[in-house]
Amino acid sequence: MASFGNAFSSSIGKKLIMGITGLFLVLFLIVHCSINALIFFNDGGITFNTGAHFMASNWIIRAGEIVLFIGLLAHIFQALRLTLANNKARPVKYAVNQGSANSKWYSRSMGLLGTLLLIFLIVHLSNFWVVSRFIGIPTVDADGHEDLFAVMKLTFQDLWIVVLYTLAMISLCYHLLHGFASAFQTLGWNHKKYNSIIKGVGIWYSVIISIVFAAMPIAIYAGWIS
């Protein structure tokens, strides 16, 4: 057991946890984005509320929610450990920094992008998850489901929140651009024959997911969704 624990506390072990939890979060974003995108049916939130009700009432989804939070916390914790370890290993920066010659700027800024996403996540959870899971939504839609769409419309009337979400989704896009391919590489799921495919899928995934998420608050604030 000691050797197992030491393996995951090593630098490679930390990166392995980041890769596993990162891919898990990638899958979660697909589900979460698909459900939220139901607002674009523009039917007063009926379809969206039905999807949200299914997610909230399905025991498999609820169990997965617990796993998600554990994975998210593990991802954040390991990211902090890796950042601190890297800074400790190199306390003095090189006189000439040639980092841009070997990597993209967002690959070298994962700590900053992750911090921005963490701030967004706290605001997002307080606006929606805490309300739906603990406070309760007092209104229902025409089908008798909790009207989470009404909460979404009310939340996105504040311009600062819309701006925050939009900036956060830009950060998410760059975070995913690095994290998607990096997770495959960390887990050893890379090969010269299909690395270009993984990179291409990662780019399309990162851009589409981020645009759809950003379009939701913008569309509601602009009155395109009602």
- Report pLDDT for 137: 84
- Report pLDDT for 106: 53
Rounded Cα gap, residues 6 and 180, in angstroms: 26
- Report pLDDT for 59: 79
Q: CATH classification of 2-92+106-221 is 1.10.287.990, yes or no?
A: no
Digit-by-digit pLDDT tens for the chain (226 residues) are 444 444 445 666 667 777 787 788 888 899 899 999 999 999 999 999 999 988 888 878 777 777 777 777 777 777 777 666 666 666 554 444 454 555 565 555 666 777 788 888 888 888 888 888 777 787 888 888 889 999 999 999 999 999 999 999 998 998 888 878 887 877 777 777 888 888 899 999 999 999 999 999 999 999 999 8
- Report pLDDT for 56: 83
From the list 41, 45, 2, 26, the residue with the least C-alpha distance to 182 is 26
- Report pLDDT for 220: 96
Q: Do 140 and 146 meet the contact criterion of CB atoms below 8 Å apart?
A: yes
Query: What radius of gyration, in Å, describes the C-alpha atoms of the chain?
Result: 20
Give the position of tokens 């990211």: 79
- Report pLDDT for 105: 56
Give the position of tokens 């909790």: 146
Q: Do 42 and 149 meet the contact criterion of CB atoms below 8 Å apart?
A: no
